[in-house]
Chain A
Amino acid sequence: MTTHTSEITDKLKKLTLNRLGLWLFLISDASFFVALVSSRFFVYGLNTPSEINQYLGLGLTVILLFSSLTAYRAEVAAENNNRKGMNLNILLTIVIGLLFLVGVGFEWGIALGHEVTWPSSPYGTVLFTLTGVHATHVLTGLIAFAIVYFMKRKNDIGEGNSWAVEGAVKWWHLVDLAWVAIYPTLYLIH
């Protein structure tokens, strides 16, 4: 009985430290995005070229926001030992994330077609740096989800044993949070 209680306490301590560690990492990574977003105003002020496709930006935002719902549902399902729900929502998040990356690629294609958004121009530098760094975060999030999916699809899940899912999902929400700042910064301000 005492050994069992001790095991639970150790597990909870480990989870606490894991969560605190991840949060410290997320905060430090978020500060990197704050620096990048603020650099946009130094480089290009409050202007935005008319060549920027507003509807594409809006579409990308809707796609990414929706993926945060599926990620959230995957976490809730994992904590409640609902393996089917977890697998389905992780797969959905991966598919939506890939769709977002395709959209970013499409955006880069458009940007390369105009002089004012070309990578060597001031606005192009901001656009490609911000979306490039963000897309890398999306890609690592997708890799994390793929690892979690293959790791957890047959193993035990449930309350206190779903840290891998929770970690990947928290990372995904940071990616989402970063886009919440990037979208108005790149597309809407004028």
Chain B
Amino acid sequence: MSTKTISNFMRIGWFVITALMVLTAIEFIVAVILQGIILAVCLFVIGLIKGALIVQYFMHFGQIWEHIRDLWRGIIFTVEEEE
């Protein structure tokens, strides 16, 4: 991994944490202004965005699809070799 890639990863980290903090502030303000089911829906949507940011950027969820694809290819190639 090159130095540029490392700095990119670090930049992504700061970007995601800033977005999470801003969304938390919005959550807090929305909870002061709204109430009831409208508030619940707003909080649910904001929560989904926050969760998506963590899963995608911090937990590298995209990696999983690559692994499943590699695993699947591996299974196919192994079967072909055995044949």
Contact status B10-A170, CB under 8 Å: no
A69: B residues at CB distance < 8 A: 13-14, 16-17
Say yes or no for A87: interface residue by CB 8 A criterion.
Answer: no
Contact status A180-B58, CB under 8 Å: no
B68: A residues at CB distance < 8 A: 20
CB distance from B36 to the nearest CB of A (A): 6
Q: How many of chain A's residues have a CB under 8 angstroms from any CB in B? A: 35
Contact status B27-A188, CB under 8 Å: yes
Nearest B-chain residue to A187, judged by Cβ: B31
State which residues 46-83 of B face A: CB under 8 Å. Answer: 46-47, 50-51, 54-55, 58-59, 63-64, 67-68, 70-71, 74
Out of B35, B37, B47, B64, name the residue touching A180 (CB < 8 Å): B47
A125: B residues at CB distance < 8 A: none
CB distance from A87 to the nearest CB of B (A): 17
Cα A65 to Cα B21 in complex, Å, equals: 8
Given contacts A58-B24, A58-B28, whether A189 and B39 have CB atoms under 8 Å apart is yes
Nearest A-chain residue to B7, judged by Cβ: A76
Q: How many A-B residue pairs have CB under 8 A?
A: 88
Secondary structure class of chain B's binding surface, majority of residues? helix
State which residues 176-190 of A face B: CB under 8 Å. Answer: 176-177, 180-181, 183-184, 187-190
Contact status A184-B54, CB under 8 Å: no
Given contacts A19-B64, A20-B68, A184-B31, 19 further A-B pairs with CB under 8 A are: A46-B36, A65-B21, A69-B16, A72-B58, A76-B10, A80-B1, A80-B6, A159-B1, A170-B59, A173-B55, A173-B59, A180-B47, A181-B51, A184-B27, A187-B31, A188-B39, A188-B43, A190-B31, A190-B35
A-B contact pairs, 29 of them (CB 8 A): A16-B67, A19-B64, A19-B67, A20-B68, A58-B28, A65-B21, A65-B24, A68-B17, A68-B20, A68-B54, A68-B58, A69-B13, A69-B16, A69-B17, A72-B58, A76-B13, A79-B1, A173-B55, A173-B59, A176-B58, A177-B54, A177-B55, A184-B31, A184-B44, A184-B47, A187-B31, A189-B31, A190-B31, A190-B35
